[in-house]
Structure 1
């Protein structure tokens, strides 16, 4: 049985120094994909923008600069003004967003309570997954 942990929060799309736009976001984690987290950005278009990346990358990014290439994460600020910076790059463009550091940290902590580090494969049926991959079934 898969378990999911979701959180909605407002992030700030950084346009320029002291200029930003609020972007509603949704953070998702599921025990059915225990190594990944997903950020869904509701940009006011028909389809939201979705980024999925390693849960461990997010954990590192809450503490220091982490990532390479398409996604970079780093904390900045202090106290109530501390934020997690998320820099995203794709062929469609680049964006930098900021989220309240404490909100993301609290949510991520709950994901590790749901599936502790090192236990991501405890509920994985390796034989069934291999069969599914090799035979193209879902």
Structure 2
């Protein structure tokens, strides 16, 4: 069984867009970090000219398909029949993208097959993580 899921999605920039209306973003899930999802945008689509990766809760993505969620750097809400709006807030500005909700649902189904919702804690190795933390102290 794989430990990582990566799914390309097409993100359509609708605000604060640097030169591109549609970009190939990637959703990423790793069972070693079972509560988190990452979304990466390629360098040509960013103000910095480098790949930008946002990390946020898998629950935020799930909940945002049904209703507006998030009050921090990442916010997610449904839009129309099959679109989901994702807002990414940074000191440099805000990027707003539309992603097909069906693509997000397929991604979340794959993450749920890998690590079912509610069983994320079983993937954590707290003894190892604590040892790593103490080693660096």
- TM bin, normalised by shorter chain, reads 0.7 to 0.9
The 10-residue stretch of structure 1 (99-108 or 120-129) with the greater mean CA deviation from structure 2: 120-129
Select the residue among 58, 66, 69 that pairs with 1:66. Answer: 69
- The 1:54–1:67 alpha-carbon spacing in structure 2 relative to 1, beyond 3 Å, is same
- 8 A Cα contact 2:34 2:123, kept in partner: no
Q: Secondary structure at the match of 1:68?
A: coil
- 8 A Cα contact 1:39 1:50, kept in partner: yes
Superposed CA RMSD: 2.0
Matching residue of 2:132: 132
* TM-score, normalization by structure 2: 0.87
| Structure 2 residue 119 is the aligned partner of structure 1 residue 104 | no
| Structure 2 residue 56 is the aligned partner of structure 1 residue 53 | yes
Number of aligned residue pairs: give it: 131
Q: Secondary structure at the match of 1:121?
A: helix
* TM-score, normalization by structure 1: 0.87
| Structure 2 residue 113 is the aligned partner of structure 1 residue 113 | yes
Gaps (5+ residues) in structure 1? none
* In 2, Cα distance between equivalents of 1:73 and 1:125: 30
- 8 A Cα contact 2:15 2:94, kept in partner: no
* In 2, Cα distance between equivalents of 1:58 and 1:48: 21
The 10-residue stretch of structure 1 (127-136 or 49-58) with the greater mean CA deviation from structure 2: 127-136
* In 2, Cα distance between equivalents of 1:30 and 1:110: 11
* In 2, Cα distance between equivalents of 1:124 and 1:108: 19
Higher-RCO chain (CA-CA 8 Å, sequence separation at least 6): 2
Q: Which stretches of structure 1, 4 residues or more, deviate above 2 A after TM superposition?
A: none
Q: Which has the higher strand share?
A: 1
